[in-house]
Amino acid sequence: MEETGSSARQDWSIQEVARIAGTTSRTLRHYDDVGLLAPSRVGSNGYRYYDGTALLQLQRILLLRELGLGLPAIAEVFRQQTDTVQALSRHLDWLGQEQQRLARQMASVRQTIETVKGGGDIVAEKMFDGFDHTQYKDEVEERWGKDAYAKSDAWWRGMGAEEKQEWMVHAGKLGSDWIAVAGSGAGPDSFAAQDLARRHVAWLASIPGTPAAERGGDLKAYITGLADMYVADPRFAANYGGETGAGFVRDALRIYAGQDL
């Protein structure tokens, strides 16, 4: 007979787990089918039951799903990261970074709402407070020439407020995705990291003046040089959760650059 006291509880039925975790029995059975989450035991009645260890595994699955990873990528993470406590600690770090990022976004949006409700004028400089593309002027000119900076600077100044907002959201999403994949326990050579590296290079190619956008440039040298800069310069590293996160981005981009681009 199944225990009902919380202190003596050994396992939970599939229906209970589905209710507590906010998922479905069908989803739990699918996780079993693909080898991600086996029940701790199956009763004589054919019902599936899950113990505390299984619940820890389910928590990791749901966290990784929140990070945007598909089931094959999650399976790869589990193969690479077998220490549950260490993995959950990395998840916790990522959640903290996401909390800070969302808090900044909320503050910005709240200020915009108050300005509009009060009949005030939108001030673009306040909307984009904290973003100053000119802070990288010296590095860009030293590494890739004054023409590269001039093209990218003219491109940025030529955009309207909405276009800048959209670009910043895209850049922010790219940074948060890097932090998420690094925090998931996946390796820099994993499918998730390499797909993100592909997206990153495509994003660089959208910025006029960069060697990624200009034909004839040494794309591999540009990517690896930029990857090293992410780690060396705290201003860049901050976009990826600090030096450790930037190191993950660097390693992933180096691997990507070693392919036939």
**For residue 220, how far is the Cα from the chain centroid?**
23
Q: Provide the token pair at 161.
A: 């407020």
Q: What pLDDT, in 10s, does the model give residues 196-218?
A: 999 999 888 887 776 666 655 57
Range(s) for CATH 1.10.1660.10 in the chain?
12-66
Q: Choose among 210, 172, 178, 202: nearest CA to 192.
A: 178
What residues have CB less than 8 Å from 70, skipping those under 6 apart? none
Do residues 237 and 230 lie in contact, with contact meaning Cβ atoms separated by under 8 Å? yes
Alpha helices, DSSP H, located in 158-190: 161-184
Q: Are strands 12-13 and 48-50 parallel, antiparallel or unpaired?
A: antiparallel
Q: What pLDDT, in 10s, does the model give residues 216-241?
A: 557 788 888 888 888 887 767 777 87
| Predicted TM-score (pTM) of this structure | 0.50
CB atoms within 10 A of CB 52: 12
Amino acid present at 15: Q
Do residues 202 and 170 lie in contact, with contact meaning Cβ atoms separated by under 8 Å? no
Query: pLDDT digit of tens for each residue in the chain (261 aa)?
Result: 344 444 456 889 999 999 999 999 999 999 999 999 999 999 998 999 999 999 999 998 988 887 767 788 788 788 877 777 777 777 677 677 666 766 766 666 666 667 666 766 545 444 444 444 555 555 555 555 566 667 666 777 777 777 777 777 778 788 888 988 888 888 999 999 999 999 999 888 887 776 666 655 577 888 888 888 888 877 677 778 788 888 999 999 999 988 755
Q: For domain 12-66, give the fold.
A: Multidrug-efflux Transporter Regulator; Chain: A; Domain 2 (1.10.1660)
